[in-house]
Amino acid sequence: MSRQQRQTLDDLLRHGPLDLGGDVAEQRAVFHGMMTSLPLPPDVSTTAGKLGGVPVVTVETPANDPATVLLYLHGGAYAIGSAADAAGLAGDVARRTGARAVCVDYRLAPENPFPAAVDDTLAVYRALLDDGVPSSAIAFIGESAGGGLAVATLVAAKDAGLPQPSSAAVFSPWADLSVSGDSAVGKAAVDPALTPEGLRTRARDYLRDTDPATPYASPVFADLTGLAPLLIQVGSHEILLDDAVRLAARAAEHDVHVELQVWPQVPHVFQAFAAMLDEADAALRAAAAFTRAHWAATDDALGEGLPTSKESVVRQ
């Protein structure tokens, strides 16, 4: 892996225009400009629609198997970003997994505070199931706030009696909205993208008077028993490092199949920079392999008539 690649990315983010804790309207425009500055590859298509009454953008590549679905949740600290903004990274994951990505345009804070994002994501998941897509053919993918949201939605789905998807892979998840992990301070100097003050500002926008330790807001405090297999990827140069480590420990405590991958000296959601960073390409290949492996494992279990983790959750 190239030290020069990492340094170039660090400089790009450290001197970039995004201020996560700044004025919401301004930062939405900045973030949109950043995420759409490079055009999508010509073979990637996007289609706007609705599922469960919630706006979605479906991202497809020519090799996609229409039978498998990635339920994709974008980042942006619950206040910025959109399904369309996430199409680039979603398309990269879709290409590597061979599935179409359904990006959820969940409602944003401060206009739509907690639990709007969880409600919207759960509604889309429920609509996919109602449309006849088996839970075993759905995998969750989430980045940053979308990573925490993915795990929160798994918990909400369990509580609602819905089957779990085949797996979930989350990139740099924001899983503790109290911003209480030691890395919030210990990694602040090396994180080129996020600040604890910015995260706390956006947490207040999203939570209002809700306790940050509420499980659907901060899944590091949730009962994760019975959740789908979970892959967590994080960089060592980010203040959310402890969110990922603590989430993995919580999942392990509750007997969830969990894999934690800490990638040295890379920043928040480094997977988005696969075109310039070797670690990002390797991480996306690992996430795609994890996702495909759990689709295959579920198919094998169903073929043998064995209970899957999804079926077990429904029976609880």
Buried b (16+ CB within 10 A) or exposed e, 50-76: ebbebbbbbbbbeebeeebbbbbbbbb
Choosing from 82, 143, 218, 238, the catalytic residue is: 238
Length of the chain: 316
Instruction: Provide CB contacts within 8 A for 210, sequence distance 6+.
Output: 113, 114, 217
Reply yes or no on whether 311 is catalytic: no
Phi, psi at 248, each rounded to 5°: -65, -40
- C-alpha to C-alpha distance for 152 and 215, rounded to whole angstroms: 7
Largest CA distance in the chain: 55
Catalytic residue among 82, 135, 136, 144: 144
Secondary structure (DSSP) of 209-226: TS-TT-TTT-GGGS--TT
The partner residues of 56 in beta bridges, in order of sequence, read 49, 104
Q: How far apart are the C-alpha atoms of 175 and 51, rounded to whole Å? A: 25
Catalytic residue among 178, 268, 279, 309: 268
Q: Where are the strands (E) in the chain, listed by range? A: 45-51, 54-60, 65-73, 99-104, 138-143, 167-171, 230-235, 258-263
Question: Which strand ranges, in their side-by-side order, compose the sheet holding 230-235?
Answer: 45-51, 54-60, 99-104, 65-73, 138-143, 167-171, 230-235, 258-263
238 carries an active-site annotation: yes
Task: Give 85's DSSP letter.
Answer: T
End-to-end CA distance of the chain: 45
The answer to whether residue 309 is catalytic is no
* C-alpha 122 chain-centroid distance: 14
Identify the H or E element spanning 177. Answer: none
Active site residues: 144, 238, 268
